[in-house]
């Protein structure tokens, strides 16, 4: 079974700082997705990465994909409180998505 691991699981960071969340997966896949989930809410699609070396940026978030290393990163630049949420990566080699365990991010003023 495909395994998707994220680290860290919990992240507390100060506003204005930078940090990276890592997502490793165990089986070849050229599609990787990042989602955001606020408490008690559904998942909001952030990025779709479809090829090796893909990099996408939206605001203070930037995601990248290295299919050879089976690694994706979500980089946060100059964090603000509004970014506090749980972030999931998901790998979709077939019909179903395999989700990581999630990274719970808290941005402290």
Partner 1 sequence: NAGVMQNPRHLVRRRGQEARLRCSPMKGHSHVYWYRQLPEEGLKFMVYLQKENIIDESGMPKERFSAEFPKEGPSILRIQQVVRGDSAAYFCASSSLSGSSETQYFGPGTRLLVL
Helices (H) and strands (E) in the chain, counts: 0, 11
Task: Give the residue with the Cβ less far from partner 1, 31 or 75.
Answer: 31
**45 near partner 1, rule: CB under 8 A:** yes
**19 near partner 1, rule: CB under 8 A:** no
Calpha distance 79→49 (Å, rounded): 22
The residues pairing with 34 across neighbouring beta strands, listed in sequence order, are: 47, 89
Given a contact cutoff of 8 angstroms between Cβ atoms, the answer to whether 97 and 31 are in contact is no
**98 near partner 1, rule: CB under 8 A:** yes
Q: Kindly report whether the peptide bond that precedes residue 8 is cis, defined as omega within 30 degrees of 0.
A: yes
Given candidates 39, 69, 95, 109, which one binds partner 1 under the rule CB under 8 A?
95
Calpha distance 25→71 (Å, rounded): 7
**99 near partner 1, rule: CB under 8 A:** yes
Q: How far is the CB of 33 from partner 1 (least distance, A)?
A: 6
**39 near partner 1, rule: CB under 8 A:** no
Q: Which residues of the shown chain bind partner 1 in the complex (CB under 8 A)?
A: 4, 31, 33, 35, 40-45, 48, 50, 88, 90, 92, 94-102
């Amino acid at each position: 079974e495909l395994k998707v691991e994220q680290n860290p699981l919990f992240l507390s960071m100060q506003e204005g700082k930078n940090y990276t969340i890592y997502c490793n997966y165990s089986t070849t896949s050229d599609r990787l997705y990042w989602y955001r989930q606020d408490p008690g809410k559904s998942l909001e699609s952030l990025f779709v990465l479809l090829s090796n070396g893909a990099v996408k940026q939206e605001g203070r978030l930037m995601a990248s994909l290295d299919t050879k290393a089976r690694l994706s990163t979500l980089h946060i630049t100059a964090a603000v409180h509004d970014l506090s949420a749980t972030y999931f990566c998901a790998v979709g080699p077939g019909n179903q998505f395999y989700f990581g365990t999630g990274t719970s991010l808290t941005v402290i003023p």
